[in-house]
Amino acid sequence: MQRSEALGSGRGFRGAAHAGLDRLRDRLDSIDPRYRLALLAIAVLAVPFVLQNAYLVRLAGTIGIYIMLAIGLNVVVGYAGLLDLGYVAFYAVGAYMYAFLASPQYGLHLPFLLVLPIGALIAALFGMLLGYPVLRLRGDYLAIVTMGFGEIIRILLVNLAPVTGGPNGIRLIDPANIFGLNLSQAVDLGALRVDSVVNYYYLTMLFAAGCLLAVSRLNDSKIGRAWQAIRDDEIAAQCMGVHKSNLKLLAFATGAFLAGVAGVIFASWQQFVSPETFTIGELITIFCMIVLGGAGRLRGVVVGAIVLVVLPEFLREYSIYRMVIYGAVLVLIMRYRPQGLLGRGARWSAKKRQVTPASSISKITSSTKIEGPPGCTPDDVPMLEVDNLSKAFGGLQAVQGLTFTVRQGEIVSIIGPNGAGKTTVFNLISGLYRPSAGSIKYLGRPIVGVPPHKLAEMGIVRTFQNLRLFADMTVLENVMVGLHCMLKAGLLSIVLKTASFRRDEEMARAKAVALLGALGHSLIDRRDDIVLTLTYADRRRVEICRALACGPRLLLLDEPVAGMTSAEAQEMTSQIRLLRDAGYTVLLIEHHMNVVMGISDRIIVLDQGAIISEGTPEMVQNDERVIEAYLGRRRSWGKAAN
């Protein structure tokens, strides 16, 4: 916001427009949610009576269809960050399913309410079918493959004439018939005559509202948080126990499901489907809706849908110039407001997004007690046994022949000069790299080849040297991603917002706040701030909280005090000690020698990928090889001056 104000002072109209849109957004934000909902409901109900024009009501109904499509695509693109350009194919699947099952084409006339779930589920199935093989692909490869898939479906619709009716499509599709009410006929309510188009308007709005509700609930659950985590930082998400592939598949399926719903409703409304509807142009329109409104947020998506349905209608007056203006407007909006109309600008300025209810805070005692790790571990097994571990990248031997053991309840530090291979060791233990040779055992179990999310669930949790927080999420949300594996609520109970789900969420929130409180009381006050607005030290603390939320037994801390002042570092040191006392085993990489020497039970010194010294702090400190590795070998001055 600071940015837009700065713009506003300097640049006349553009600045004013920015400020205006920001004000509008903030004003919308400031309305009480319940109040906002009621207002919205009344407005939606009143539309047909205000417009009094079949064409316009029809247009309004179209908005409903697009809202469903756009929030579905938003789940895939906005939440999970998957560039799915084959999305309209699922819309087509839904529409053609209804056309097949409720038209003279095959003589089937199944009821609307039966076909609706069938169509949506089959679309979701297609989503999974497409999603499964393409998950291995990176962003833009995924885009082109999904685009190809969309084209394949469309060409099949055109060319498989005996099955799909070919380019002419399928006609005479049954209208929706809900509990004996035929929506294609006007309903007489005494004085009030409700036209067919108004019926369908209400139908699309009803389902659009339902989809919005379902998606917003998903978004506020462990699933939504995991999606966002994957989008922000896939690697960190995996290390917090998020099963990347499953969640991406779920996003594909959810998006396709919503498109399927939209398709069935669309077919029953038009009573006609043809391949003409399911083009890449349609996809682009839906895409623009997401981005234009302010990517990722549901409200923005709704605004985008409205703007992009209504805008061309306004431009209709300029008939032939319509599309030229439309194209130019897209470019200009992106150029001058790349975050979308109601989106937020620079990340740093983002303030509280959602306010945690005070109820979940009040339960927090101000004690800074740290809870111990969950479950009990067999006493006599070492926490971690690393044997002859090596890793090469191409010709470069990053670590070679490492052998060491970490006993339960120890704090062991790995130190060594830059480039010694310390972080590689962490990447190997946490499953991000596969070793070239050697074995790793965790509580007696070999873990080489176990994926990172599984390791996190088993209790090996790490932090990252260069801070891999989920940048667009709040402090609390970041910590709650760590709780992913603990939360058991299923898809259905989330969408239905069952009591058990609400209890689960409440518990998670309380636990997250408690963790924040244990590591730094100031974090509780900033729980609803976007993490990027925190200081470096606070971000480090949040990352450790997030790791603790995972329920680790072995905690891998990669430079936990980097970038902290010495006072902050001291505080962190004592907190790490408290963690050990609470029962956690800690493996630590750190450059800050005061910290390392102060808290380590044992120290392992790496240089050039190999262990050059191991022992208590005193032993290591006085080891000539260590001093040499750190300060360099002292050379004769005569030689240097030569």
Partner 1 sequence: MGKSGQLEQPLLRLTEVDASYGPVKVLQNVSLEVGTGEIVALLGANAAGKSTTLKCIMGSVRVSCGAIEFCGRTISSLSTTQIVAAGVGLVPEGRRIFTRLTVQENLRLGAFVRSDRNAVEQDLARIYGLFPRLAERRDQKGGTLSGGEQQMLAIGRALMSRPTLLCLDEPSMGLSPILVEAVFEIIHGIRREGTTILIVEQNAEMALSVADRAYVLQSGQIILSDTAANLLSNDLMRRAYLGV
Partner 2 sequence: MLGSACCIRVVSQQALPVSLDEEMDLNLALAQLPQQFVNGITLGCLYALIALGYCMVYGVLEMLNFAHGEVFMVGGYLGWAIISNLVLGVTPRTNAVLILVIMLLVAMAGAGALGVGIEWFAYRPLRGASRLAPLISALGVSIFLQNAVMLGLGTRSKTYQTMALIPRDMSVSAGDVTIAGTRILIIVVSILLMFALHFFVQRTKWGTAMRATAQDREEASYLGIDANRVISLTFLIGSMLAGAAGVLVGLYYTQVDFMMGYSAGLKGFTATVLGGIGNVQGAMLGGLVLGLVEGLGAAFISPAYKDIIAFSVLILVLLVKPSGILGENLPEKV
- Which stretches of the chain bind partner 2, using CB under 8 A? 59, 62, 65-66, 77, 133-134, 136-141, 143-145, 147-149, 151-152, 154-156, 158-159, 235, 266, 270, 275-277, 279-282, 284-285, 287-288, 290-292, 295, 308-309, 311-313, 320-321, 323-324, 326-332, 334-335, 338-339, 393, 423, 427, 432-433, 464
Please choose which of partner 2, partner 1, none residue 20 contacts, taking the beta carbon within 5 to 8 angstroms, the exact cut-off set by kind. Answer: none
Task: Specify whether the CB–CB gap between 99 and 275 falls below 8 A.
Answer: no
Separation between Cα atoms, residue 114 and residue 443, nearest integer Å? 52
* Least distance between partner 2 and beta carbon 627 (Å): 30
Gyration radius of the chain over CA positions? 29
Query: Which of these, 631, 197, 187, lies nearest to 417 by C-alpha position?
Result: 631
Please choose which of partner 1, partner 2, none residue 170 contacts, taking the beta carbon within 5 to 8 angstroms, the exact cut-off set by kind. Answer: none
Please choose which of partner 1, partner 2, none residue 277 contacts, taking the beta carbon within 5 to 8 angstroms, the exact cut-off set by kind. Answer: partner 2
- How far CA 265 is from CA of 62, 73, 111, 156, 598, in Å, comes to 11, 17, 12, 22, 67
Residue with tokens 């809870």, as numbered in its chain: 371
Neighbours of 387 (CB within 10 A): 15
Q: Which is nearer to partner 2, 331 or 355 (CB)?
A: 331
* Least distance between partner 2 and beta carbon 136 (Å): 5
Question: What residues contact residue 170 under an 8 Å CB cut-off, 6+ apart?
Answer: 96, 99, 100, 103, 105, 164, 272, 273, 274
* Least distance between partner 1 and beta carbon 563 (Å): 5
Binding site for partner 1 (CB under 8 A): 348, 394-396, 417-420, 532-536, 559, 562-563, 565-566, 591-594, 596-597, 608, 621, 627-628, 630-635, 637, 640, 642
Q: Which is nearer to partner 1, 336 or 536 (CB)?
A: 536
Task: Specify whether the CB–CB gap between 88 and 287 falls below 8 A.
Answer: no
10 Å CB burial of residue 612 (0-12, 13-18, 19+) is: middle
> What would the DSSP string read from start to end of 351-404?
---SPPPHHHHHT--S--PPPPPSS---TTS-SEEEEEEEEEETTEEEEEEEEE
Please choose which of partner 1, partner 2, none residue 26 contacts, taking the beta carbon within 5 to 8 angstroms, the exact cut-off set by kind. Answer: none
Please choose which of partner 2, partner 1, none residue 313 contacts, taking the beta carbon within 5 to 8 angstroms, the exact cut-off set by kind. Answer: partner 2
Please choose which of partner 2, partner 1, none residue 191 contacts, taking the beta carbon within 5 to 8 angstroms, the exact cut-off set by kind. Answer: none
Phi–psi pair at 508, nearest 5 degrees: -60, -45
Q: In DSSP terms, which residues pair with 481 in a beta bridge?
A: none
* Least distance between partner 1 and beta carbon 611 (Å): 16
- How far CA 338 is from CA of 7, 199, 262, 555, in Å, comes to 14, 38, 29, 40
Helical ranges in 534-585 per DSSP H: 536-549, 566-581
* Least distance between partner 1 and beta carbon 593 (Å): 3
Please choose which of partner 1, partner 2, none residue 403 contacts, taking the beta carbon within 5 to 8 angstroms, the exact cut-off set by kind. Answer: none
Q: Which is nearer to partner 2, 49 or 321 (CB)?
A: 321
* Least distance between partner 1 and beta carbon 542 (Å): 14
Task: Quote the DSSP letter at residue 533.
Answer: G
Neighbours of 400 (CB within 10 A): 18
Q: Which is nearer to partner 1, 268 or 474 (CB)?
A: 474
Phi–psi pair at 391, nearest 5 degrees: -145, 125
Please choose which of partner 2, partner 1, none residue 425 contacts, taking the beta carbon within 5 to 8 angstroms, the exact cut-off set by kind. Answer: none
Q: Which is nearer to partner 2, 62 or 221 (CB)?
A: 62
* Least distance between partner 2 and beta carbon 262 (Å): 10
Q: Which is nearer to partner 1, 588 or 596 (CB)?
A: 596
Please choose which of partner 2, partner 1, none residue 631 contacts, taking the beta carbon within 5 to 8 angstroms, the exact cut-off set by kind. Answer: partner 1
Neighbours of 379 (CB within 10 A): 6
Please choose which of partner 1, partner 2, none residue 393 contacts, taking the beta carbon within 5 to 8 angstroms, the exact cut-off set by kind. Answer: partner 2
Q: In DSSP terms, which residues pair with 437 in a beta bridge?
A: 390
Please choose which of partner 2, partner 1, none residue 632 contacts, taking the beta carbon within 5 to 8 angstroms, the exact cut-off set by kind. Answer: partner 1
Mapped onto helix, strand or coil, the DSSP state of residue 396 is strand
* Least distance between partner 1 and beta carbon 634 (Å): 6
Helix (H) or strand (E) holding 589: strand 585-589
Separation between Cα atoms, residue 582 and residue 454, nearest integer Å? 24
State both tokens at 426: 């962490």
Separation between Cα atoms, residue 39 and residue 34, nearest integer Å? 9
* Least distance between partner 1 and beta carbon 540 (Å): 11
* Least distance between partner 2 and beta carbon 224 (Å): 19
Q: In DSSP terms, which residues pair with 415 in a beta bridge?
A: 605
Query: Which of these, 259, 297, 246, 282, lies nearest to 79 by C-alpha position?
Result: 297
Please choose which of partner 2, partner 1, none residue 62 contacts, taking the beta carbon within 5 to 8 angstroms, the exact cut-off set by kind. Answer: partner 2
For helices 222-232 and 244-270, give the axis angle rounded to 10 degrees: 110
* Least distance between partner 1 and beta carbon 387 (Å): 25
Q: Which is nearer to partner 1, 88 or 596 (CB)?
A: 596
* Least distance between partner 2 and beta carbon 441 (Å): 22
Q: Which is nearer to partner 1, 320 or 640 (CB)?
A: 640
